[in-house]
Amino acid sequence: MDKAIQIGSKIQAEINGLAKEIIIVEPQNVDPETGRISELSPIGSALIGHESGDRFQIKLGQRKYLLHIKKVI
């Protein structure tokens, strides 16, 4: 069974087809340049609980994002 995404998870994902490495962190540890996003951010909170292989879409304002979780480390 794959690990569910939680605070501290490192994720290899595609967002709108672009490969990204993301680490879910607490708000005080955010650093977008190194891929550290808050669990309270719209994308961070959407990732929580998902597992490798999941595909889903979120809408932020007028923009839609298709997320594909490749691997949870």
Angle made by CA atoms 55, 12, 54, in degrees to the nearest 5: 15
Domains in the chain, start-ordered, CATH in brackets? 10-72 (3.10.50.30)
Alpha carbons 73 and 64: distance in angstroms, whole number: 26
Give alpha helix (H) positions in the chain. Answer: 42-47
The tens digit of pLDDT for each residue in 20-33 reads 999 999 999 999 99
Residue of 44, 43, 49 lying closest to 65 (CA atoms): 43
The tens digit of pLDDT for each residue in 5-64 reads 999 999 999 999 999 999 999 999 999 999 999 999 999 999 999 999 999 999 999 999
Residue 64: count of CB within 10 angstroms of its CB: 10
